[in-house]
Amino acid sequence: MPRKKNNTTLVREYIRGLIVRQGLKAGDMLPCEGDIAAALEISKSCVREATHALESIGLIEIRHGIGLVLRDFNLDAIGDIFDYSFVLDPSIVLDLYDLRRQLESSLMPRVAELINEAQLQRCEEILSEWASLAHSGDLTYEMDRRFHETLYVVVPNRMLSSLCHIFWNTFRDLETSALLTRETPLTLESTLKTIESHRQILNAIRANDGQLASRLMFEHFGKIERSRLDAGRV
């Protein structure tokens, strides 16, 4: 016997149907809660509860005195879901590392195909600045992020870029959270090894060898996963 749908699912499917049938776009008004309740034959209080849930995941916006407004597409709410998931089950960190490894390594052939000289030069500058900061004692993750962002924005896919951005925001928050305090701190030696791994990836991209760049990126994230396991971090 099929499971009965909850009210949030009913309202979400109703709104999706409106988007498809009426060609609604971000910023368009949705029916009021009373009209939705009547259409679905549920109470207004149930609709109100459902719309608050949908607002929390970024699907709609509740504007007081105006009504329900369809929001623009974004994946930011996924980052919030990741954050809560890690609090409840820190072992999920490894799953996210594996997902990021699969995603970013798969992008490398496209990156090698599409990247231009200015973007390659920007990556070189980031690696040089990263090394200088490391030698001065600033062992920041920020330059790591900038390098990866410079690569994945080359691919003209908004969803891929958004997902990669969410991953990095999530890991930035995790690096400063109590969940990951057991890891051995960064050292100059480990940072320079990381920079060299990135330089090898960049050299493969510059040589237009997307397959090699993909393999090197995959191995790079694999080393990160192993270091976390060895440190008992997750």
CATH architecture assignment, domain 7-70: Orthogonal Bundle (1.10)
Residue 181 is predicted with a pLDDT of 46
pLDDT tens-digit readout, 202-215: 999 999 999 999 99
pLDDT tens-digit readout, 117-137: 999 999 999 999 999 999 998
Residue 4 is predicted with a pLDDT of 66
Residue 114 is predicted with a pLDDT of 97
3 state SS for the chain: CCCCCCHHHHHHHHHHHHHHHHCCCCCCECCCHHHHHHHHCCCHHHHHHHHHHHHHCCCEEEECCCEEEECCCCCHHHHHHHHHHHHHCCCHHHHHHHHHHHHHHHHHHHHHHHCCHHHHHHHHHHHHHHHHHHHCCCCCCHHHHHHHHHHHCCCCCHHHHHHHHHHHHHHHHHHCCHHHCCCCCCCHHHHHHHHHHHHHHHHHHHCCCHHHHHHHHHHHHHHHHHHHHHCCCC
**Residue segments in the chain with a per-residue pLDDT below the cut of 70:** 1-4, 73-91, 172-185, 225-234
Q: Whole-angstrom Cα distance, residue 130 to residue 124?
A: 10
Residue 148 is predicted with a pLDDT of 92
Q: Which fold has domain 76-230?
A: Four Helix Bundle (Hemerythrin (Met), subunit A) (1.20.120)
Residue 151 is predicted with a pLDDT of 93
Domain 7-70 and domain 76-230 have a common topology: no
Residue 12 is predicted with a pLDDT of 86
Q: Whole-angstrom Cα distance, residue 15 to residue 58?
A: 13
> Which residue in 197, 195, 192 sits closest to 218, CA to CA?
197
Residue 87 is predicted with a pLDDT of 56
